[in-house]
Amino acid sequence: GLKTGIVGLPNVGKSTMFNALCENAKAQAANFPFCTIEPNVGIVAVPDPRLDVLSKISGSEKTVPTSVEFVDIAGLVKGASKGEGLGNQFLANIRECDSIVQVVRCFEDGDVVHVAGRVDPVDDTDVINFELALSDITQIEKRLERLKKTKGKSGEEAKRNEVEAAALQRIMAALEQNKPARSVDLSEEEAELVRGLCLLTAKPMVYAANVAEDDLASPADNKYVQQLQAKAAEEGSGVVVVSAQVEAELNGLDKEEAAEYLEALGVQEGGLKSLIRATYKQLGLLTYFTSGEKETRAWTIKDGFTAPQAAGVIHTDFEKGFIRAETVAYDDYVTSGGMGAAKEKGLLRLEGKEYVVQEGDIMLFRFNV
């Protein structure tokens, strides 16, 4: 599955957020395995209001959301990239993730110690991003050293190595100016060549501004959120405002109490849903659906997947034996009231191997076994 690593300095609210994500997932989908699978790994459903609409139209017995995996990566501190403490292990854990959520403390609380002695979101992100960048610089230096050895040789491999080295040098230059690898424009060939290094700063990242409950209703008034947003805008990364503590408290309440609590705070939700959706979007992911009497289900694909690739997410046999896909756009499905009705109206399309699946498509695959 797709993994998102939760990183941040100690005491910023990572574990509180991680636990809230998992508890919430359990409460939302009691009969599905969306829960903590290891102490620090949890599978979380992606909230999607379209699922219930489709489920109702199709009269489905079951409704299954799609999911993302979160990993709580504690212990990233100053000096991690130098291998201090368990630093290297933490960086290795991040390397395995597809994207990163960086939790940033934007709440004041005298009872919760801040590692640097004061709340300063921009400084905190600098510390974390610096460690990630240093780790990337070390990786790139090692790789460039190896690539040098093929210098002077000719042939396909030497040519590829030259392209890779040039791309790595550009990334290195960016890192030295405190810019992440993801900010460097790479050609498709270059991107493919450097992918093997799994650079940490090349991964999509969302900042989660962890605010106090009183700031949830109007986060723009919080100076820490303002500072973080200004910084994120410079980098081209996203900020989601969330209150880990509010989310943690919500999980202990029944529906009515939760609604009252949120109303008192002047908000609809604690920000967890936005965080999950933002992560999904940052990864360049799309959702398509299958829907019938048995179940309505959301499936995750990457932007640009063809119909057979999308079918392969359900089962590899679907991809191998793919014949065609009966496809209806979400809006057409809803306005006409189902697959059969859409067909009568001429809104059902027969799509072949080349079809690029669109966000929200309802698909029925025909395949040889």
Annotated binding-site ranges for ATP = 11-16, 211
Asked if residue 8 binds ligand GDP (CB under 6 A), the reply is yes
Q: For residue 176, what are the contacts with CB-CB under 8 A and spacing of at least 6?
A: 137
190-249 residues near ligand GDP, rule: CB under 6 A: 210, 212, 243-245
For residues 211 and 195, give the distance between their C-alpha atoms in angstroms, rounded to a whole number: 35
Count of CB atoms situated within 10 Å of the CB of 99 = 20
Asked if residue 183 binds ligand GDP (CB under 6 A), the reply is no
For residues 72 and 8, give the distance between their C-alpha atoms in angstroms, rounded to a whole number: 10
Asked if residue 12 binds ligand GDP (CB under 6 A), the reply is yes
Which position among 4, 5, 7, 14 is part of the footprint of ligand GDP (CB under 6 A)? 14
From the CB of 101, what's the least distance to ligand GDP, in Å?
12
For residues 266 and 8, give the distance between their C-alpha atoms in angstroms, rounded to a whole number: 28
Asked if residue 74 binds ligand GDP (CB under 6 A), the reply is yes
Asked if residue 40 binds ligand GDP (CB under 6 A), the reply is no
Asked if residue 11 binds ligand GDP (CB under 6 A), the reply is yes
Task: Between 11 and 89, name the residue whose CB sits nearer to ligand GDP.
Answer: 11
CB 176 within 8 A of CB 169: no
From the CB of 234, what's the least distance to ligand GDP, in Å?
25
Segment near ligand GDP (CB under 6 A), from 7-15, 134-142, 298-306, 337-345? 7-15
For 126, 127, 145, 184, 252, the CA distances from 82, given in Å and listed in that order, are 16, 13, 19, 25, 41
Structure tokens belonging to residue 167? 């791309």
The DSSP symbol for 356 reads: B
- DSSP β-ladder status, 238-242 and 362-367: unpaired
Segment near ligand GDP (CB under 6 A), from 107-115, 226-234, 269-277, 315-323? 107-115
Size of the site for ligand GDP (CB under 6 A): 17
Which position among 61, 84, 96, 109 is part of the footprint of ligand GDP (CB under 6 A)? 109
Give residue 138's region: left, alpha or beta (phi > 0; psi -120 to 50): alpha
Task: Between 245 and 282, name the residue whose CB sits nearer to ligand GDP.
Answer: 245
Asked if residue 42 binds ligand GDP (CB under 6 A), the reply is no
Asked if residue 41 binds ligand GDP (CB under 6 A), the reply is no
Q: For residue 306, what are the contacts with CB-CB under 8 A and spacing of at least 6?
A: 353, 354, 355, 356, 357
For residues 297 and 295, give the distance between their C-alpha atoms in angstroms, rounded to a whole number: 6
242-281 residues near ligand GDP, rule: CB under 6 A: 243-245
Which position among 5, 13, 65, 204 is part of the footprint of ligand GDP (CB under 6 A)? 13
From the CB of 333, what's the least distance to ligand GDP, in Å?
40
Asked if residue 85 binds ligand GDP (CB under 6 A), the reply is no
Residues that bind ligand GDP (CB under 6 A): 8, 10-16, 74, 107, 109, 112, 210, 212, 243-245
